[in-house]
């Protein structure tokens, strides 16, 4: 089955710097890759996603890149702000597979220092 | 987000007791899920349901029971709670394959 590795587990940056979180997946048939942000005590919320027919997607300060050959995808946050501090989860799924359930990485705790 | 709710939000129980966590969604989503979240493990799938009366095991189903008699409800029961089931439990739902998955607000369960 699918396995998703996420790095780093913790990341500390200064306000205004960029942050990059990387994930690798094992199932080459995976075709959907969402990123969730979870603030302390809150539910995970989708912030951006990418499908396997696209190499990059941007939404204001957030971008995701996908390298299907290497089976990895990354979240890029530019001009970080204190409110970006949260735990970020990547996930992967083959929606055409037998189960089609998201497999999550273990999360990255991002701290943005003012 | 208001379309998926969980109750109770906090629960303290004792080892051996039966506990039921409720999940309700108003979107008529076909798929519903139960996850547990523990430090260092991320989000692990317990059970899922593709439609009413259809349920299947996820990664960590032992000690849990689910049912789905109505599309909008997906209760999770711990038949005999153990301390290892102390966790935060999230319910989630989505319309179908390829669609965005939304999470409920979570239930923090403590088993003493």
Which of A46, A106, A107 shows the shortest C-beta gap to B100?
A46
Yes or no: say if A42 and A83 are a contact pair by the CB < 8 Å rule: no
| Torsion sign, CA atoms B94, B108, A112, A103 | negative
pLDDT at A98: 67
Quick check: B106 pLDDT over 80? yes
Query: Residue A41: which residues within 8 A CB-CB, separation 6 or more?
Result: none
Quick check: A40 pLDDT over 80? yes
> What DSSP assignment string belongs to A80-95?
--GGG-EEEEEEEB-T
CA end-to-end distance (rounded Å), chain A: 41
CB atoms A104 and B42 under 8 Å: yes
Question: Taking CB atoms and an 8 Å cutoff, what residues of chain B touch A43?
Answer: 1, 90, 103-106
In eight-state DSSP terms, residue B98 is T
Express each pLDDT in B14-73 by its tens digit. Answer: 999 999 999 999 999 999 999 999 988 889 999 999 999 999 999 999 999 999 999 999
pLDDT at B75: 98
Shortest Cα distance, chain A CAs vs residue B108, angstroms: 10
Lowest-pLDDT range, A27-31, A96-100, B104-108? A96-100
Q: Which helix (H) or strand (E) holds A56?
A: strand A56-59
CB atoms A95 and B100 under 8 Å: no
Express each pLDDT in A47-104 by its tens digit. Answer: 999 998 889 999 999 999 999 999 999 999 999 999 999 999 999 988 877 677 899 9
Chain A CB within 8 Å of residue B104 CB: yes
CA distances from A40 to A109, B41, B72 (A): 10, 16, 27
């Amino acid at each position: 089955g699918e396995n998703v590795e996420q790095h780093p587990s913790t990341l500390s940056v200064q306000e205004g710097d960029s942050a990059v979180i990387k994930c690798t997946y094992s199932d080459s048939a995976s075709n959907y890759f969402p990123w969730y942000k979870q603030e302390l005590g809150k539910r995970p919320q989708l912030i951006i996603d990418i499908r396997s027919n696209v190499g990059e997607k941007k939404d204001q300060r957030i971008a995701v890149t996908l390298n299907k050959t290497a089976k990895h995808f990354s979240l890029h946050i530019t001009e970080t702000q204190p409110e970006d501090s949260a735990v970020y989860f990547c996930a992967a799924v083959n929606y055409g597979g037998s189960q089609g359930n998201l497999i999550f990485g273990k999360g990255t705790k991002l701290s943005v220092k003012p | 987000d208001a379309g998926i709710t969980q109750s109770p939000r906090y629960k303290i129980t004792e080892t051996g007791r039966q506990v039921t966590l409720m999940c309700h969604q108003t979107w008529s989503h076909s798929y519903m899920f139960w996850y547990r979240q523990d430090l260092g493990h991320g989000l692990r799938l317990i059970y899922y349901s593709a439609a009413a009366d259809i349920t299947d095991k996820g990664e960590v189903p032992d000690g849990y029971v689910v049912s789905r008699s109505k599309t909008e409800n997906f209760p999770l029961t711990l038949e005999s709670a153990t301390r290892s089931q102390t966790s935060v439990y999230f319910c989630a739902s989505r319309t179908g394959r390829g669609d965005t998955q939304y999470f409920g607000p979570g239930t923090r369960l403590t088993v003493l």
